[in-house]
Every structure is written in structure tokens, then in C-alpha cells.
A and B are shown apart, each in its own frame.
Chain A
Amino acid sequence: MEALLAITIGVLVAASVYLMLARNVLRFIFGLVLISNAANLTIFTAGRLTEGKPPLVPEGLDAPVGTVANALPQALVLTAIVIGFGLFAFALVLVFRAYTSLGTLNSDEMRVAEPREDART
């Protein structure tokens, strides 16, 4: 199971790096979404996988009995997903705004803040 997830993470990272190398900023954002999911899966996998043993405490006891799944990585991933969602919502709006006000999605043509030397004169 770990091997399968590791390969999945690898594929996700490869695909997202490919997307992020594009000049189109929208593609870049999609790549970013993919790679953040790869990072989340990394945390999840790094916490060791336990199948079909939810970390529940039986009634009347203080701790779960026997081997149960590690609950901490899930909490971490959940936090990271929520944070990532907020950031990507912002990034998408920003890219949309960039498209409407700069008229391009090509990062090479985004030179308003840093005009070319030859264009300045």
C-alpha cells in the first residue's frame, strides 16, 4: 500500500512540475494544486498506513485497544487541506484579476512591475 501511494505521489509531482514549467500562469496554478495534494499524501503516507482500524476509543476506556491507525497525520493533512484551499482560492482570483487587468496569462509578458530596460527609454 505504501509503495502504491509513493508511486502515486511521484506521478503527481512529475505532472505538477510539468504543469508549473509552463509560461501560462493558469497551468502553473493547476500544477500547484496537484503538488500540494502530493505533499498532503506524503504526510499521510509518512505517518504509516494501518488498514481498517479506526483510532476510536471504546466506551468506558481511556485509550484505544490494540493497533489502530495513526490519527495525527490525518489531523495534519486536514489542516493543510483547509489552509491550501484558502490560498488557492486567493491565487485563482489573483490570476483571474491579472488576466482582466494585464490582458495576458503569459508570465513572460507580465512586465508591468519590472519594465524591460529597452522599453523604458
Chain B
Amino acid sequence: MSEIENFLAMDGHGAFVWPAYGFAFLVLGVLLLWSLRELRSHERSLHKLRPQDPDAA
């Protein structure tokens, strides 16, 4: 078995370790993207309402 396969297999626990890390970064990623999108959309709305506002993008 190659070294990479060995690493991915995690001594037989790969089926538990990798989903755990995958899910962790899925959750963190979703929270990050969602929060950023919300901020962008609010910045755009504010820009439409009052372009000179310093908080508007």
C-alpha cells in the first residue's frame, strides 16, 4: 500500500476521521459564506438607498 493510501486509511478509522473533518469544514464554510453574503447584500441595499453612506460598499 502506498504511503498516501496508508494515510487515508487511518488504520481502518478513515471512514470516521474523514467524514468528521469534512463535516467540520462544511459547517464552518456554510456559516462563513452565509454571513458574508448577508453582509454584501445589506451593503448593496444601503448603497441603493444612500450612496454616500460610509458603511455602504
Same assembly: no
Using a CB–CB distance below 8 Å, which chain A residues touch chain B? none
